[in-house]
Amino acid sequence: MISNATRSRASRERRPLTIRLNYRAQRYIFIYLMLGVPLLYFLLTRLIPILYSFNISLREWDVLSPEKPYVGWANFSGLFADEAFRKSLANTFLFVAVGIPGQLAAGLVVALLLHNANRLRGFFRTVYFIPYVTNIVAVSWVFRWLLMPNGWVNGQLLNLGLPAQPFLQSPDQAPFVVALSMIWQSVGFQMLIFLTGLEGIPKMYHEAAHIDGANAWRRFRHITVPLLNPVILFSAVIAGISYLQAFSHIVSMTQDGGPLNSTRTLVYHIYKLAFKNFDMGSASAATVVLFVLILAFTLLQLKILNRKVEY
């Protein structure tokens, strides 16, 4: 005869093992699971492809061949021996040097004007922001049509008695025209960021400086600019990354990065290597160069611009 203790022990052994969690533990598990989903997505779509591109950059990667022999740094040495790659690198630095100061200056000027405007502020803010949400291809083609040899801009120059300009047909003017279109399209974004920063500056600093006799320029230089430093840093990093990755404007406004490769950027050169020449090894090596450039440029900006200001 089986005793009651034996039946009870057998019943407990058959019962499935369950872990009871209180409400707080369940909530934390849910939070970290939800945080883990985008992290997993980032690892699968960004980090793993980046690491894989490092592997491809060290191999002779023929898409039609199952053999992918290791070639070491040959792809990198071949890149820097290529004049087109060096030209694309120089053009990318030119876009960064022209685009970042131009974009930040234009955005700050518009933000300062709107910050001091009393009427129609929302209307102008919307008008300036519309180009930023407009399709890049559409904006690029509008600029291209306006700046054609027989386009509207040259027509106005001729009406004023000035000579027509080649704009996108000239190797000397084309990079600056493309940079100008990129600046124009991003002014709304920079304006919004600077407006947020300006509204966060306490008015008492300006009022105290005004009582002490500081004029508008000195208040801007010694109060507004230092207190806007975190905003300037953020804007400079975002603008720097966008100019280092310039591609859509180049494709839409120019003929194959021309004339004479004057507008060919590093990202456009990577596109040509990968999807026109099917040279995946060199394209991956150029991608690694771009990755290093963006990382170094961002760290340099953080080092130079990241200064704490206290009053």
DSSP, residue by residue, 231-290:
HHHHHHHHHHHHHHT--HHHHHHSSTT-STTTT--HHHHHHHHHHTS--HHHHHHHHHHH
Which of 5-9, 39-43, 265-269 is the least confident region? 5-9
Confidence of residue 310 (pLDDT cuts 50, 70, 90): low
Burial 191-203 (b: 16+ CB within 10 A, else e): bbbbbebbeebee
Q: What angle do CA 74, 78, 82 make, to 5 degrees?
A: 175
pLDDT confidence of 1, banded at 50, 70, 90? very low
Residue 13 has pLDDT above 70, yes or no: no
**pTM for this model (two decimals):** 0.83
CA dihedral 170→172→178→180, nearest 10 degrees, is -120
CA 286, chain centre distance (Å): 18
The DSSP code for 58 is T
Which of the residue ranges 18-27, 148-157, 195-204, 302-311 would you say has the lowest mean pLDDT? 302-311
**pLDDT band, residue 66 (cuts 50/70/90):** confident
Measured over the CA atoms of residue 229, residue 233, residue 239 and residue 243, the dihedral's sign is positive
Mean pLDDT for 61-88 is 90
Provide the 10 A C-beta neighbour count for residue 272.
Answer: 18
- Give the mean pLDDT of 240-254: 92
The pLDDT of residue 11 is 59
Q: What is the pLDDT of residue 298?
A: 87
% of the chain with per-residue pLDDT over 90: 63
Instruction: Kindly tell me if the per-residue pLDDT of 262 is higher than 80.
Output: yes
